[in-house]
Protein backbone atom coordinates (compact mmCIF):
# COMPACT_ATOMS: atom_id res chain seq x y z
CA UNK A 1 0.00 0.00 0.00
CA UNK A 2 1.28 3.47 -0.91
CA UNK A 3 1.04 5.87 2.02
CA UNK A 4 1.48 9.64 2.02
CA UNK A 5 5.18 10.46 2.10
CA UNK A 6 6.26 7.14 0.57
CA UNK A 7 8.83 7.40 -2.21
CA UNK A 8 8.56 6.19 -5.79
CA UNK A 9 11.90 5.76 -7.53
CA UNK A 10 11.96 6.01 -11.32
CA UNK A 11 14.87 4.60 -13.33
CA UNK A 12 15.59 5.22 -16.99
CA UNK A 13 18.55 3.03 -17.95
CA UNK A 14 20.23 3.74 -21.28
CA UNK A 15 23.24 2.27 -23.02
CA UNK A 16 25.80 4.19 -20.94
CA UNK A 17 23.75 5.95 -18.29
CA UNK A 18 21.10 5.58 -15.62
CA UNK A 19 18.81 8.54 -15.04
CA UNK A 20 16.81 8.57 -11.84
CA UNK A 21 14.16 10.65 -10.18
CA UNK A 22 12.70 10.27 -6.71
CA UNK A 23 9.07 11.25 -6.17
CA UNK A 24 7.04 11.58 -3.01
CA UNK A 25 3.46 10.31 -3.02
CA UNK A 26 1.22 13.18 -1.99
CA UNK A 27 -2.59 13.03 -2.27
CA UNK A 28 -2.23 10.16 -4.73
CA UNK A 29 0.02 12.14 -7.07
CA UNK A 30 3.81 12.12 -7.49
CA UNK A 31 5.80 15.18 -6.41
CA UNK A 32 9.40 15.35 -7.66
CA UNK A 33 12.04 15.64 -4.93
CA UNK A 34 15.45 14.63 -6.31
CA UNK A 35 16.91 13.52 -9.61
CA UNK A 36 20.12 12.98 -11.51
CA UNK A 37 22.11 10.41 -13.38
CA UNK A 38 25.26 8.38 -13.70
CA UNK A 39 26.53 8.90 -17.24
CA UNK A 40 29.57 7.50 -19.01
CA UNK A 41 29.17 4.01 -17.55
CA UNK A 42 31.99 1.80 -18.79
CA UNK A 43 34.13 4.78 -19.84
CA UNK A 44 34.35 7.89 -17.65
CA UNK A 45 31.49 7.69 -15.12
CA UNK A 46 30.07 10.96 -13.81
CA UNK A 47 27.40 11.15 -11.10
CA UNK A 48 25.27 14.26 -10.65
CA UNK A 49 22.20 14.87 -8.52
CA UNK A 50 19.99 17.87 -7.86
CA UNK A 51 16.82 18.75 -6.03
CA UNK A 52 13.50 19.65 -7.66
CA UNK A 53 14.56 23.30 -7.87
CA UNK A 54 17.67 22.35 -9.86
CA UNK A 55 20.17 22.99 -7.06
CA UNK A 56 23.23 20.75 -7.51
CA UNK A 57 23.59 18.38 -4.56
CA UNK A 58 26.22 15.97 -5.81
CA UNK A 59 28.87 15.94 -8.53
CA UNK A 60 31.35 13.08 -8.57
CA UNK A 61 33.83 11.57 -11.00
CA UNK A 62 36.05 8.53 -10.60
CA UNK A 63 39.47 7.42 -11.74
CA UNK A 64 40.70 3.89 -12.16
CA UNK A 65 39.32 0.75 -10.55
CA UNK A 66 37.03 2.61 -8.14
CA UNK A 67 34.75 3.72 -10.97
CA UNK A 68 31.38 1.90 -11.36
CA UNK A 69 31.98 -0.49 -14.24
CA UNK A 70 28.42 -1.51 -15.10
CA UNK A 71 24.78 -0.62 -14.55
CA UNK A 72 24.53 -2.62 -11.34
CA UNK A 73 27.45 -0.73 -9.82
CA UNK A 74 26.07 2.59 -11.09
CA UNK A 75 22.72 1.89 -9.46
CA UNK A 76 24.62 1.17 -6.25
CA UNK A 77 26.08 4.68 -6.42
CA UNK A 78 22.61 6.15 -6.87
CA UNK A 79 21.09 4.12 -4.03
CA UNK A 80 23.95 4.97 -1.66
CA UNK A 81 23.35 8.66 -2.32
CA UNK A 82 19.58 8.31 -1.98
CA UNK A 83 19.99 6.57 1.38
CA UNK A 84 21.41 9.82 2.68
CA UNK A 85 18.47 11.95 1.51
CA UNK A 86 15.53 9.61 2.07
CA UNK A 87 15.53 10.42 5.80
CA UNK A 88 13.68 7.23 6.66
CA UNK A 89 11.17 7.56 3.83
CA UNK A 90 10.18 4.16 2.43
CA UNK A 91 10.74 3.33 -1.25
CA UNK A 92 7.34 1.81 -1.97
CA UNK A 93 7.81 1.10 -5.69
CA UNK A 94 10.29 1.41 -8.52
CA UNK A 95 9.17 2.42 -12.01
CA UNK A 96 11.20 1.66 -15.12
CA UNK A 97 11.17 2.97 -18.66
CA UNK A 98 11.23 -0.02 -21.02
CA UNK A 99 11.54 0.84 -24.69
CA UNK A 100 9.79 -2.14 -26.29
CA UNK A 101 6.65 -3.86 -25.02
CA UNK A 102 5.91 -5.79 -28.21
CA UNK A 103 2.36 -6.44 -29.43
CA UNK A 104 1.01 -7.69 -26.11
CA UNK A 105 2.31 -5.40 -23.36
CA UNK A 106 0.27 -2.26 -24.01
CA UNK A 107 0.01 -0.86 -20.47
CA UNK A 108 2.24 -0.60 -17.38
CA UNK A 109 2.70 -3.95 -15.64
CA UNK A 110 4.12 -5.36 -12.43
CA UNK A 111 7.28 -7.20 -13.38
CA UNK A 112 7.57 -10.92 -12.67
CA UNK A 113 9.60 -13.70 -14.26
CA UNK A 114 7.08 -14.15 -17.10
CA UNK A 115 7.19 -10.44 -17.97
CA UNK A 116 11.00 -10.38 -17.80
CA UNK A 117 11.26 -13.34 -20.16
CA UNK A 118 8.88 -11.68 -22.63
CA UNK A 119 10.87 -8.43 -22.51
CA UNK A 120 14.19 -10.20 -22.95
CA UNK A 121 12.84 -11.80 -26.13
CA UNK A 122 12.29 -8.28 -27.52
CA UNK A 123 15.89 -7.15 -26.94
CA UNK A 124 16.95 -7.68 -30.61
CA UNK A 125 14.35 -5.07 -31.60
CA UNK A 126 15.86 -2.40 -29.36
CA UNK A 127 19.51 -3.40 -28.85
CA UNK A 128 20.64 0.05 -27.66
CA UNK A 129 18.03 0.24 -24.92
CA UNK A 130 16.16 -2.93 -23.96
CA UNK A 131 19.07 -4.89 -22.40
CA UNK A 132 19.97 -1.91 -20.22
CA UNK A 133 16.33 -1.29 -19.27
CA UNK A 134 16.17 -4.89 -18.07
CA UNK A 135 19.52 -4.65 -16.29
CA UNK A 136 18.06 -1.73 -14.33
CA UNK A 137 15.05 -3.83 -13.34
CA UNK A 138 17.28 -6.71 -12.24
CA UNK A 139 19.53 -4.43 -10.19
CA UNK A 140 16.58 -2.66 -8.54
CA UNK A 141 14.91 -6.00 -7.74
CA UNK A 142 18.08 -7.14 -6.01
CA UNK A 143 18.47 -3.87 -4.09
CA UNK A 144 14.78 -3.56 -3.10
CA UNK A 145 13.57 -7.13 -2.48
CA UNK A 146 9.80 -7.38 -2.27
CA UNK A 147 9.25 -3.85 -3.58
CA UNK A 148 6.97 -3.70 -6.67
CA UNK A 149 8.87 -3.13 -9.92
CA UNK A 150 6.69 -1.53 -12.61
CA UNK A 151 7.60 -1.53 -16.31
CA UNK A 152 6.25 1.33 -18.45
CA UNK A 153 6.58 1.00 -22.20
CA UNK A 154 7.54 3.51 -24.88
CA UNK A 155 5.42 1.55 -27.34
CA UNK A 156 2.20 1.52 -25.28
CA UNK A 157 0.88 4.95 -26.31
CA UNK A 158 0.81 3.84 -29.95
CA UNK A 159 -1.08 0.58 -29.55
CA UNK A 160 -4.42 2.05 -30.66
CA UNK A 161 -3.23 2.76 -34.20
CA UNK A 162 -5.37 1.62 -37.09
CA UNK A 163 -4.18 -1.52 -38.84
CA UNK A 164 -3.37 0.50 -41.97
CA UNK A 165 -0.89 2.61 -39.99
CA UNK A 166 0.89 -0.29 -38.35
CA UNK A 167 1.13 -2.96 -41.04
CA UNK A 168 3.90 -3.47 -43.56
CA UNK A 169 3.09 -4.52 -47.13
CA UNK A 170 3.94 -8.14 -46.34
CA UNK A 171 1.81 -11.30 -46.21
CA UNK A 172 -0.55 -11.18 -43.18
CA UNK A 173 1.25 -13.92 -41.28
CA UNK A 174 4.17 -11.57 -40.67
CA UNK A 175 1.89 -9.07 -38.93
CA UNK A 176 0.46 -11.92 -36.85
CA UNK A 177 4.01 -12.82 -35.82
CA UNK A 178 4.55 -9.31 -34.48
CA UNK A 179 6.37 -7.80 -37.47
CA UNK A 180 4.57 -4.47 -37.52
CA UNK A 181 5.09 -0.79 -36.77
CA UNK A 182 5.14 -0.09 -33.04
CA UNK A 183 6.26 3.53 -32.56
CA UNK A 184 8.39 4.72 -29.66
CA UNK A 185 8.89 7.72 -27.34
CA UNK A 186 5.34 7.04 -26.21
CA UNK A 187 5.92 8.14 -22.61
CA UNK A 188 7.06 11.54 -23.87
CA UNK A 189 4.10 11.88 -26.23
CA UNK A 190 1.67 10.81 -23.54
CA UNK A 191 3.07 13.44 -21.18
CA UNK A 192 2.74 16.18 -23.80
CA UNK A 193 -0.83 15.10 -24.63
CA UNK A 194 -1.85 15.11 -20.96
CA UNK A 195 -0.18 18.43 -20.27
CA UNK A 196 -1.91 20.08 -23.22
CA UNK A 197 -5.24 18.60 -22.14
CA UNK A 198 -4.82 20.25 -18.74
CA UNK A 199 -3.61 23.57 -20.17
CA UNK A 200 -5.79 23.95 -23.25
CA UNK A 201 -8.49 21.26 -23.60
CA UNK A 202 -9.82 22.63 -26.89
CA UNK A 203 -6.40 22.52 -28.52
CA UNK A 204 -5.65 19.07 -27.09
CA UNK A 205 -8.87 17.76 -28.64
CA UNK A 206 -7.60 18.75 -32.07
CA UNK A 207 -4.92 17.59 -34.49
CA UNK A 208 -1.38 17.90 -33.16
CA UNK A 209 2.01 16.85 -34.47
CA UNK A 210 4.61 16.47 -31.72
CA UNK A 211 8.31 16.42 -32.64
CA UNK A 212 10.37 14.66 -29.96
CA UNK A 213 13.83 15.67 -31.13
CA UNK A 214 16.83 14.56 -29.11
CA UNK A 215 19.64 12.06 -29.55
CA UNK A 216 16.74 9.76 -30.34
CA UNK A 217 14.16 11.51 -32.50
CA UNK A 218 10.69 10.83 -33.82
CA UNK A 219 7.39 12.56 -34.55
CA UNK A 220 3.87 11.58 -33.60
CA UNK A 221 0.43 12.52 -34.94
CA UNK A 222 -2.07 12.91 -32.08
CA UNK A 223 -5.82 13.52 -32.39
CA UNK A 224 -7.94 13.97 -29.30
CA UNK A 225 -5.06 12.86 -27.10
CA UNK A 226 -4.57 9.55 -28.92
CA UNK A 227 -1.69 8.50 -31.15
CA UNK A 228 -2.72 8.16 -34.80
CA UNK A 229 0.68 7.51 -36.38
CA UNK A 230 4.40 7.79 -35.62
CA UNK A 231 7.56 8.01 -37.67
CA UNK A 232 9.23 5.11 -35.86
CA UNK A 233 8.22 1.59 -36.82
CA UNK A 234 9.30 -1.97 -36.00
CA UNK A 235 12.42 -0.69 -34.26
CA UNK A 236 13.75 2.64 -33.02
CA UNK A 237 15.85 2.91 -36.20
CA UNK A 238 13.01 4.11 -38.39
CA UNK A 239 11.85 7.62 -39.24
CA UNK A 240 13.98 10.75 -39.08
CA UNK A 241 17.78 10.72 -38.64
CA UNK A 242 19.00 10.75 -35.04
CA UNK A 243 22.22 11.32 -33.14
CA UNK A 244 23.83 8.05 -34.20
CA UNK A 245 20.93 6.23 -35.92
CA UNK A 246 20.15 6.42 -39.62
CA UNK A 247 16.38 6.80 -39.61
CA UNK A 248 14.43 5.64 -42.63
CA UNK A 249 16.53 3.80 -45.19
CA UNK A 250 15.76 1.87 -48.36
CA UNK A 251 15.78 -1.86 -47.46
CA UNK A 252 17.66 -2.41 -50.68
CA UNK A 253 20.63 -0.57 -49.14
CA UNK A 254 20.80 -3.24 -46.44
CA UNK A 255 20.65 -6.03 -49.01
CA UNK A 256 23.45 -4.31 -50.91
CA UNK A 257 25.62 -3.86 -47.81
CA UNK A 258 25.29 -7.55 -46.95
CA UNK A 259 25.25 -9.08 -50.41
CA UNK A 260 27.67 -6.84 -52.32
CA UNK A 261 29.74 -4.97 -49.72
CA UNK A 262 30.26 -8.15 -47.70
CA UNK A 263 29.14 -6.73 -44.35
CA UNK A 264 27.68 -9.19 -41.87
CA UNK A 265 24.55 -8.47 -39.82
CA UNK A 266 26.56 -7.35 -36.78
CA UNK A 267 28.52 -4.83 -38.85
CA UNK A 268 25.34 -3.44 -40.41
CA UNK A 269 23.78 -3.14 -36.97
CA UNK A 270 26.81 -1.23 -35.67
CA UNK A 271 26.64 1.11 -38.67
CA UNK A 272 22.92 1.84 -38.50
CA UNK A 273 22.66 2.21 -34.73
CA UNK A 274 26.02 3.68 -33.78
CA UNK A 275 27.79 5.27 -36.74
CA UNK A 276 25.02 6.86 -38.79
CA UNK A 277 22.73 9.85 -38.25
CA UNK A 278 24.26 13.21 -37.35
CA UNK A 279 27.44 11.53 -36.11
CA UNK A 280 28.00 9.47 -39.24
CA UNK A 281 27.09 12.22 -41.69
CA UNK A 282 29.20 14.90 -40.02
CA UNK A 283 32.20 12.82 -39.00
CA UNK A 284 32.27 15.01 -35.88
CA UNK A 285 29.61 13.81 -33.46
CA UNK A 286 25.93 13.98 -32.65
CA UNK A 287 25.77 17.08 -30.45
CA UNK A 288 23.84 19.73 -32.39
CA UNK A 289 25.69 22.51 -30.57
CA UNK A 290 29.03 21.18 -31.84
CA UNK A 291 27.70 20.83 -35.37
CA UNK A 292 26.28 24.34 -35.42
CA UNK A 293 29.61 25.73 -34.25
CA UNK A 294 31.63 23.77 -36.82
CA UNK A 295 32.87 25.17 -40.13
CA UNK A 296 33.08 21.67 -41.60
CA UNK A 297 30.63 21.46 -44.54
CA UNK A 298 29.74 17.91 -43.49
CA UNK A 299 28.31 19.29 -40.24
CA UNK A 300 26.18 21.79 -42.15
CA UNK A 301 25.04 19.03 -44.48
CA UNK A 302 24.03 16.78 -41.58
CA UNK A 303 21.92 19.54 -40.02
CA UNK A 304 20.31 20.39 -43.36
CA UNK A 305 19.38 16.76 -43.93
CA UNK A 306 17.98 16.45 -40.41
CA UNK A 307 15.80 19.56 -40.85
CA UNK A 308 14.63 18.41 -44.29
CA UNK A 309 13.57 14.98 -43.03
CA UNK A 310 11.75 16.36 -39.97
CA UNK A 311 9.96 18.92 -42.17
CA UNK A 312 8.87 16.17 -44.55
CA UNK A 313 7.46 14.10 -41.69
CA UNK A 314 5.51 17.06 -40.32
CA UNK A 315 3.75 17.24 -43.69
CA UNK A 316 3.17 13.49 -43.81
CA UNK A 317 1.67 13.37 -40.32
CA UNK A 318 -0.51 16.39 -41.05
CA UNK A 319 -1.86 14.37 -43.97
CA UNK A 320 -2.50 11.40 -41.69
CA UNK A 321 -4.49 13.71 -39.39
CA UNK A 322 -6.39 15.42 -42.21
CA UNK A 323 -4.96 18.76 -41.13
CA UNK A 324 -2.97 20.27 -38.28
CA UNK A 325 -3.89 22.62 -35.44
CA UNK A 326 -0.54 22.72 -33.64
CA UNK A 327 3.07 21.64 -33.97
CA UNK A 328 4.84 20.96 -30.66
CA UNK A 329 8.62 20.72 -30.26
CA UNK A 330 9.99 18.81 -27.28
CA UNK A 331 13.10 16.99 -25.95
CA UNK A 332 16.67 18.31 -25.98
CA UNK A 333 16.90 19.55 -29.57
CA UNK A 334 13.24 20.41 -29.84
CA UNK A 335 13.28 22.53 -26.68
CA UNK A 336 16.62 24.29 -27.19
CA UNK A 337 17.79 24.38 -30.82
CA UNK A 338 16.09 27.53 -32.12
CA UNK A 339 18.06 27.50 -35.38
CA UNK A 340 16.98 23.97 -36.24
CA UNK A 341 13.37 24.73 -35.34
CA UNK A 342 13.45 27.66 -37.77
CA UNK A 343 14.94 25.51 -40.54
CA UNK A 344 12.37 22.78 -39.96
CA UNK A 345 9.48 25.25 -40.21
CA UNK A 346 10.78 26.92 -43.39
CA UNK A 347 8.47 25.99 -46.23
CA UNK A 348 5.62 24.86 -43.95
CA UNK A 349 3.61 28.01 -44.54
CA UNK A 350 1.16 25.95 -46.61
CA UNK A 351 0.21 24.29 -43.30
CA UNK A 352 -0.25 27.66 -41.61
CA UNK A 353 3.09 27.36 -39.79
CA UNK A 354 4.93 30.67 -39.43
CA UNK A 355 7.43 31.44 -36.65
CA UNK A 356 8.07 34.65 -34.74
CA UNK A 357 11.91 34.89 -34.90
CA UNK A 358 12.27 36.69 -31.55
CA UNK A 359 10.01 34.24 -29.67
CA UNK A 360 11.77 31.30 -31.31
CA UNK A 361 15.22 32.64 -30.36
CA UNK A 362 13.99 33.00 -26.76
CA UNK A 363 12.69 29.38 -26.64
CA UNK A 364 9.31 30.83 -25.66
CA UNK A 365 6.43 28.44 -24.87
CA UNK A 366 4.67 29.61 -28.04
CA UNK A 367 6.75 30.65 -31.05
CA UNK A 368 4.07 31.14 -33.72
CA UNK A 369 4.07 34.35 -35.71
CA UNK A 370 1.17 36.83 -35.38
CA UNK A 371 -1.95 35.57 -37.11
CA UNK A 372 -0.48 32.16 -37.92
CA UNK A 373 -3.22 29.62 -38.62
CA UNK A 374 -1.30 26.81 -36.90
CA UNK A 375 0.16 27.26 -33.46
CA UNK A 376 3.77 26.24 -32.82
CA UNK A 377 4.65 25.41 -29.22
CA UNK A 378 7.77 24.48 -27.29
CA UNK A 379 7.15 22.23 -24.31
CA UNK A 380 9.45 20.33 -21.92
CA UNK A 381 8.79 16.63 -21.69
CA UNK A 382 8.92 14.55 -18.50
CA UNK A 383 9.11 10.82 -19.10
CA UNK A 384 10.08 10.14 -15.49
CA UNK A 385 7.06 12.07 -14.20
CA UNK A 386 4.81 10.11 -16.55
CA UNK A 387 6.25 6.84 -15.26
CA UNK A 388 5.68 7.90 -11.64
CA UNK A 389 2.03 8.65 -12.43
CA UNK A 390 1.62 5.22 -14.01
CA UNK A 391 3.24 3.50 -11.01
CA UNK A 392 0.91 5.15 -8.50
CA UNK A 393 -2.15 4.48 -10.66
CA UNK A 394 -1.26 0.80 -11.14
CA UNK A 395 -0.63 0.22 -7.45
CA UNK A 396 -3.88 1.99 -6.56
CA UNK A 397 -5.80 -0.27 -8.94
CA UNK A 398 -4.07 -3.32 -7.46
CA UNK A 399 -5.04 -2.27 -3.94
CA UNK A 400 -8.67 -1.74 -4.98
CA UNK A 401 -8.98 -4.98 -6.92
Sheet holding 56-61, edge to edge: 56-61, 46-51, 29-39, 17-26, 7-13, 91-98, 149-153, 109-110
- 22 pairs with which residues across the strands? 9, 34
User: Whole-angstrom Cα distance, residue 133 to residue 18?
Assistant: 9
Helix residue ranges per DSSP H, 245-296: 251-259, 265-274, 277-282, 288-293
219 contacts: CB under 8 Å, gap ≥ 6: 209, 210, 211, 212, 230, 231, 239, 240, 310, 313, 314, 317
Among 33-42, 64-73, 107-116, the least confident range:
64-73
Residue of 66, 36, 67 lying closest to 51 (CA atoms)? 36
Active site residue 51: no
**CATH number 3.40.190.10 is the correct assignment for the domain at 7-153:** no
Radius of gyration in angstroms for the set of CA atoms belonging to the chain, rounded to a whole number = 21
Reported as a single tens digit per residue, the pLDDT across 240-255 is 999 999 999 999 999 9
Active-site position among 6, 154, 325, 382: 154
- The domain ranges of the chain are 7-153, 202-378
pLDDT given for residue 401 in this prediction: 65
pTM: 0.92
- pLDDT mean over 392-399: 86
Q: Please say whether the beta carbons of 41 and 19 come within 8 A.
A: no
For the chain, the maximum distance between any two Cα atoms, rounded to a whole number of angstroms, is: 63
Helix residue ranges per DSSP H, 25-112: 71-86
pLDDT given for residue 161 in this prediction: 95
Could you please state the CATH topology (level 3) that the domain comprising 202-378 is classified under. Answer: Nucleotidyltransferase; domain 5 (3.30.420)
Q: Can 7-153 and 202-378 be said to share one CATH topology?
A: yes
Reported as a single tens digit per residue, the pLDDT across 209-242 is 999 999 899 999 999 999 999 999 999 999 999 9
Residue of 70, 66, 63 lying closest to 44 (CA atoms)? 63
pLDDT given for residue 1 in this prediction: 66
User: What is the percentage of the chain residues whose pLDDT exceeds 70?
Assistant: 99
Amino acid sequence: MIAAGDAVLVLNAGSSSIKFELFEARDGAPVARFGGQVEGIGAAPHFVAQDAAGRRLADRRWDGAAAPADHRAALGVIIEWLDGVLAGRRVAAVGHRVVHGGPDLAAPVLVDDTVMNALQALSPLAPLHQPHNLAGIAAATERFPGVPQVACFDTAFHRAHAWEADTFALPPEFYDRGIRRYGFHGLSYEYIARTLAAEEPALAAGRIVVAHLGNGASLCAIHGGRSVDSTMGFTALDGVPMGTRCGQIDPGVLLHLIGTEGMDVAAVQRLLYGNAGLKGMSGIGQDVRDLEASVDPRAAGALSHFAWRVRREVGALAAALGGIDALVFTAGIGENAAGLRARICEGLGFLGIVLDPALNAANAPEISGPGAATRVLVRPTDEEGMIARHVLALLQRSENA
